[in-house]
Amino acid sequence: MVFSERLKELREQKGLLQRQLASALEIDTPMYSRIERGERKAKREQVILLAKLLETAERELIQLWLADKVYDVLAEEDCASGVLNMVAESIREYGK
Quick check: 1 pLDDT over 90? no
To the nearest whole number, what is the mean pLDDT of the chain?
A: 95
Whole-model pTM: value is 0.86
Q: What is the DSSP string of 51-86?
A: HHHTT--HHHHHHHHHHHHHHHHHTT-TTHHHHHHH
Q: What is the pLDDT of residues 3-32, one digit of tens each?
A: 999 999 999 999 999 999 999 999 999 999
Taking only Cα atoms into account, the Rg of the chain, rounded to an integer number of angstroms, comes to 15
CA distance 5 to 94: 32
Domain boundaries, the chain: 2-94
Phi-psi region of 26 (alpha: psi -120 to 50; beta: other; left: phi over 0): left
In the chain, the percentage of residues whose pLDDT exceeds 70 is 99
| Architecture in CATH for domain 2-94 | Orthogonal Bundle (1.10)
Distance separating alpha carbons of residues 45 and 18, to the nearest angstrom: 18
